[in-house]
Amino acid sequence: MAYFSKHYHNPGTEPGTLVAKSDLGRPVTIHLIDYTEDHLEEVRLANAADCREYLERESKTWIQVNGQADPETLRNLGDLFDLHDLALEDVLNTGQRPKLELYDDQLFIIAAMPFYNGDKLDIVQISLFIGKNYLICLCPLDEDPFEPVRKRMRLANNRRFVTRDIDYLLYALLDLVTDSGFPVLEQFGYQLEEMETDLLENPNQRTLARIHGLKRELLVLRRVLWPQRELLTGLMRTEDPLIHANTQVYFRDCHDHSVQIIELLESFREMATSMLDIYLSSISQRTNETMRVLTIIATIFIPLTFVAGVYGMNFQNPDSPWAMPELGWYFGYPMAWGVMIAIAAGLLWFFKRRGWM
Q: Taking the domains of the chain in order of start, what are their residue ranges? A: 29-282, 312-354
CB atoms within 10 A of CB 245: 7
The pLDDT assigned to 2 comes to: 52
The pLDDT assigned to 21 comes to: 63
Torsion of CA 7, 125, 270, 3, to 10 degrees: -20
Per CATH, the number for 29-282 is 3.30.460.20
Query: What is the rounded distance in angstroms from the CA atom of residue 338 to the CA atom of residue 332?
Result: 10
Whole-number average pLDDT of the chain: 84
pTM over 0.85: no
The pLDDT assigned to 338 comes to: 84
User: Angle at Cα 282 formed by Cα 277 and Cα 287, nearest 5°?
Assistant: 130
Listed ranges 20-24, 44-48, 311-315; the one with the highest mean pLDDT: 44-48
State percent of the chain over pLDDT 90: 24
Comparing 172 with 53, which gets the higher pLDDT?
A: 172
Least confident of 143-147, 253-257, 350-354: 350-354
Q: Which amino acid is at 44?
A: R
The pLDDT tens digits of the residues spanning 194-251 come to 888 888 777 788 888 888 888 888 988 999 899 999 999 999 888 888 898 888 999 9
